[in-house]
Structure 1
């Protein structure tokens, strides 16, 4: 049975599974962490973080990501690793600073760290984190960010403010994890929290008199009154949390009951057929399908095209010598259109060439320049049109040959039915007199049905749908090929036969959505095997991947599809004015 299906159905049924942990190379947990935060009277914040890592397996080191907004900066960075030698690398990127700490057990810095308990002390100054309004000053600090793969069992924070606590207010968002929190002396707030899970945030917020600050040089100065609004936001946040905690047990039971129908649909229409094919890996392309067909049928929803198809198409055009890699380094990849004859090309390929040619300068196309000069709305329209054109290259007859979507169609009908029913009940509750006890039960059911309907809309069609026996074998073979090209040990044991085969495999890796991982394996294999540079430079597709072309594509396309960002003002509760982020091992 497809593991993705098992995971999703299990979540919908709210089955509480006891995880079985397997020690993997580079895994880690964080039993405890201590933070000391000192707010200076110029608005800067001195931060000392002691994080205790329990490392399983062998790692190169650890890292800490610190998000930055607008004009925020961190300075005076230092790292201590008692009992271990280290090399510190500070990487400043848009929106964050990464402190990368290489760990060694010997003075010569040759032996990696493995199966160890490591204490790492990060120290730095955070500028422009404190906000000074017309009526109040605010520290809104994310004491634990939601980018940590591991949770933390015990977190202790000490926040020192530049004045007395007598005229202050503070909140912990949320307070579910807090064991104790209070002023341990006149200017120090000490908080102990436990059981903060992975990818979970914990915020601390303090309001204090603005007179505590002699200077606003390193603070954000915001021309508005904020105290009343912040207090109102915190009160609403508390009420919302209390309500959610009250109805959680009711929702859990009802959710399981309401999931019976979707589970039944899966049992009837989504269970995969049994086939004789049992291989674990495919060491060559399993079929003669085009890259866009593989992307449509194997990667994500059956019958859908995603951005990976565009990556694969571009690399395929490079591999077929329509484009040539003129130059490539860690900052940019520059392409040259060397074959202007598009007679034998398909519509979606011609469209991609025409789009890229708009950014040609002196015969060259810089991927970086596309991000700098292209209008995001123009790119959005092109991408939608291109996906429609590409979808026409995967006929419905082929999709129906491999995939039966009957369960998915029923799933959608059920989803819209639950949504309509929840809206009807919600409207009825506004006009019908119901005792408070039953009102909240009905309200909970309404919210639950609506949420369920939304979740069902976003479930991949391969969960309620079913592969035909032929489609199941097709899908599994391509997934097993993906398993091969993403497993370095297999690449090392049975490498592709030639540089041309590498180029073809990279095209399909892009279609399958694993190009970055395969490029990494290829580079590592070339280094281990001592492959000379002139060998892999004989293939433009390999050159493109080797020198970071996929990263440049990601950077360009991500820049053209920006997410919404905050530009100052009062921070939302739990949003964390600054701090947070995450970290891990590498």
Structure 2
């Protein structure tokens, strides 16, 4: 896959993730997948001398045989026929197709109940609760509960204006839809301040319509400012009610969250375009014409580990294939001789005097695990036995030392070589931008998940900001992890050489092309195997050589070396992990939420 194709895939990923993020943020609440009980809440409030509240709940039960009671409870005192000398709610009637009940402020049970249902209500229901009951469990479906109340709320007044704060819900199941209609035939209402996580408000003649939705335990509250009128309630004298109401509803945090959501939304929606602009400035390469297949080695002077580091994956760091290719190359050049056995690989160090820095590192590693005093015969069996011994003795420091040695070979990097071929300005600029973005979005996601932010703001639903932040975080972390050359630029003609190595890799991966340009010269096949290993296609080259009956010792050596060293590396890492895990486990009024009413819908 060439670089242009990879860039197109990145842009496609950004487009898909942006669309998915915006859809899940604004049009689909993924939290509802984990909720088996939700409700649609409709309310009608009549503002007159007597405040009347009509409620209709449509419960959506998604799991049969789980709920026996679907209810709505109040934090304020609820009475059926009685009157109180403090703010209270009087239930006038209940309508439902199912057995309904009321458990009032005094704990007395009313309703259309059989004995089993009555016992269940007495044991389970809260005080100030109204609901429907089914002792044999509600099955999956929709259930309606209609109620009518007379409200006698606290009323703050200064003689000119009145303030009434009606809290309709705070502790409840998710409300997928909320619709509240306030009828004001006498035009008493000056303004309404809804405290609902997501809402819209419309004022028409003699009527206010509020629509929205409420997260689980999200606030559903109306703060109402009215002209003075003899509304039934419990009055409290207050100075300058108008100003107090306005001051209490500035709600700067909501304005801040809305602004943040707007900025993040625009950022997520425009991320594909921003990446294209960024790529054109810092990453777009010159156009070179290179055939798809190249049947010759682009530059035989290139050391295999350099080819692996620059032209295989990330252009700044090599992988294990660079080490395997170097061993093969040194074997072919008679610097070492690799002898594979059934339970061991021995490597005779024929000429330790090498000039290349990486090859010197390889020689030093081999000499550290030799079986002879002259340090000329490396043995994988010896290395594996040492690893087992260190693990048995819990010598984690020596295990880490071995792993560091192997990492220095498997993850080789050469800053001078990289800087000679790659302009990393784009990567540096992107990281300087991405780190603050990742820090903010990542922190917000963590705080949201653990609930510390969500609980502080019951009047605002942070879900949309969370989802947008999550997708922005995903996009940025994905781009940060891309190879350096995607966000940087190749210097001089290095990109052309990269394309040539890709074309050569394509050639080595295609049996038909290999057959077409195959050579009888065994040395050519050995070089193809070396550079094929460096480019990460050793298995394909080996398979093609077998198919063409090319018999060389290096074929078995290549496969055996990869398998054995891969096993050694995995065993070392696993041993360290086990020892670290075992050592780490030891021992054993005014404003938001101040309204009258409260409670909400639920099920048990």
Give me the TM-score of the superposition, normalised by structure 2: 0.47
Give the TM-score normalised by the residue count of structure 1.
Answer: 0.48
